[in-house]
Amino acid sequence: MSTLVAATLVALPGLALANADLEKLMSNPKNWASQAGDMYNQRYSTLKQINKSNVGKMQVAWTFSTGVLRGHEGSPLVIDGTMYLHSPFPNKVFAIDLETQTIKWKYEPKQDPQVIPQMCCDTVNRGLAYAEGKIFLQQADSMLVALDAKTGNKLWDVKNGDPKLGAVNTNAPHVFKDKVITGISGGEWGVRGFLAAYDINTGKQAWKGYSVGPDSEILIDPQKTTTWADGKVTPVGPDSSLKTWQGDQWKIGGGTTWGWYSYDKALNAVFYGTGNPSTWNPSQRPGDNKWTMSIWSRDVDSGKVNWVYQMTPFDEWDFDGINEMILADIPVKGKPTKALVHFDRNGFAYTLDRTNGALLVAEKYDPAVNWATHVDMKSGRPQVVSKYSTAQNGADVNTKGICPAALGSKDQQPASFDPETKLFYVPTNHVCMDYEPFKVEYTAGQPYVGATLSMYPAPNSHGGMGNYITWDAGSGKIVQSKSEKFSVWSGALNTAGGISCYGTLEGYLKCVDKNDIKKELFKFKTPSGIIGNVFTYEHKGKQYLGVFSGIGGWAGIGMAAGLEKDQDGLGAVGGYRELSKYTELGGSLTVFALPN
C-alpha cells in the first residue's frame, strides 16, 4: 500500500475496511483464508483447473489423521503454502507444510474433560480464523486463543464463557477489521446468548451484545434499531425483548450464537443468527421470547444493533436460528438488491434487504414442512398449524408428525452461492419428529431441555433423509433437488469450473454439474461420514479439493458418543440408527487432485 493511499484511508474514517491483510489473502484464490473463503459466506472459488469435464478423474493426493474420533465440522485454512487444521475436543491445531505434508507445529490445549458432558450435540469445533500472522482458536472450554501462525506459540487468551454453567463453544471465530468475533453455545443449559468482539492484538473485549434482556445489554437503541412489522421497517421501541418474557425467564433465556457470521464492509455490519429460547417446553416461557430465533445486523466497531428480525416467535420446536447468513447482490422479484439469504432450521428460506432488514421473500425450501402454512409478509410471522403446535397441545402431550424435526430442514452445514448461476446450493435434511414437552426446573450447569423427541424420515417422500437443492432466492423457489439416503450434513462448495461439491453422512464426497445437480460427476468414499465443509486451494500451479471426514455432530451423535436409546441425542439416535451400517468413526482430511 502506498503512503498516499494509506494517508487517504486514514483521512476518510467513513470508508470501512475489512481486515486489509485478510482481504488481500482472500482475493488470491490459491488460498482458502477463512472458513467460507470470503466474508460474504458465499463458499465460491474462481479456481477452475478442476472442472466439470475432468473432475471425474480426481484421485486422492494425500490424507491426514487428526487422531480424534469425534465429529469433524468446518474445514482447514490454507494461507501461502501452509494449511492450518483443527480437531474436535481437545481442539488440536496443526500447521502443515503443503510442499512436504510435514507438521510445522502442533498446539494441543489442556482442557478439563468435564467440558465434554456440557456439550449438547457432540464435541465438534467449526474451525479456525486467521489475520495478521495469527491463528485464532475458539476452544470448547470457552477460551479464545491467539497463536503465532509461524510458531504456534500462544500470544494471548481470554475466557469467553463459563463451562460449569454450560456456556461452552463450538463456533469458528471470525475476523472483521481489527476484531475477532465469537459467540457462545449452551442453549440447552439455559445459557443467555451473546456475540462478543475482541481486539485481535491484545484479546481485550471491545463489546458484548446479548440476545435477550435489557436494551442496554443487547446494545439496542429503541429509536434507531429497527425491525420488520406491519409491512415496513420500523423502530423496535423500548424494552422490545423484556416485554416478551415472563418475569426473569430471560436471564436463562437461550438465544445462543454458535453459527457462522458474515460481514459487509460497505455497511460495516456483521450478520448472524440467534438460537432457541430455553427451555424447550414452551408453556414455561409464554411470549415471543425476543430476540431468540432472529437475524441480526450489528455495527462491527460498537456492536450496536442496526436491525433485527425474529423468524420463529415463541419457538415451540427448537428451530434454532443460527444458520449462516449469505450476502449476495441478486435480483429479487426483478429488482437489484443487496440481499441477505438465510436457510433457517424452521424450513423457510428468507431473503432480506441487508441494508435495512426489510423482509422480501420467505418460502419453504422443503415441501414436507407442515408446522406453519406460510409466513405472513406483513407481520413477518409464520402462520402456525394448531395440530403441530406443542404449546397449544400442552405439556406432557406427544405432538406427532411435525416437519421438520428439531434439527431443521438445514442445520449449521453451510450452503454456497454461485455468482454465475445466481443460485444457492443447499445441503438439506428431510426429517420429521414427535415432540413431547414436560416441566423442567432450572439448575445451573445442568441440561435444561424439557422435551422428549423421536425423529424419522419425512413420510410420503423420496424415501431418503436428505436432499441437495438449488434455490432461487429472488423468487423463493426450488430449482432442482437431488435426493440422498441420509441428511446432507456437509458444507457445499461451488467453483468457476462448473462444479458443486458436498459430502454425505455415509462418507462420500460428491461433485455435480452446477447447471444440472442431478448429473453426478465424481463420487469417492472417504474413511468416515462427512459433516465437514468442502474447500479448495492451489499449490505450485495445481488445484486441490479437500474435506474432513469424521462422523458425529447432531446427526451422528449416536455413533460419536456411543448412545443407543432411540430418544437419546435429543431424538437423533433413533432417526439415524441405520447410519452405522454405512460408516464408522474417523477423523481425517482427504485431499484430491487431478492425476499428473
Residue 15's nearest CA partner among 206, 265, 303, 299 is 265
DSSP tag of 533: B
A 10 A CB-CB count for 594 gives 17
Cα–Cα–Cα angle for 449, 450, 456, rounded to 5 degrees: 85
Q: Classify 232 as helix, strand or coil.
A: strand
216 Cβ partners below 8 Å, 6+ apart? none
Q: Are 511 and 521 in contact (CB under 8 A)?
A: yes
DSSP tag of 173: P
Rg of the chain's alpha carbons, rounded to an integer? 22
Catalytic residues: 318
DSSP tag of 466: E
A 10 A CB-CB count for 400 gives 14
Q: Is the peptide bond before 90 cis (omega within 30 degrees of 0)?
A: yes
Kindly state the cell numbers that stand for 431: 426429517
Q: Classify 10 as helix, strand or coil.
A: helix
* Residue type, position 207, single letter: W
Question: What whole-number distance in Å separates Cα of residue 512 and Cα of residue 421?
Answer: 14
Between strands 493-495 and 194-199, the pairing is unpaired
Question: What whole-number distance in Å separates Cα of residue 67 and Cα of residue 64?
Answer: 9
Residue entry with cell 442445520: 411
Residue 565's nearest CA partner among 452, 464, 432, 487 is 452
The phi-psi region of residue 325 (left if phi > 0; otherwise alpha if psi is between -120 and 50; otherwise beta) is beta
C-alpha pair distances (Å), 554 with each of 114, 428, 435, 585 = 20, 14, 17, 14
Question: What whole-number distance in Å separates Cα of residue 574 and Cα of residue 570?
Answer: 10
Q: Classify 265 as helix, strand or coil.
A: coil
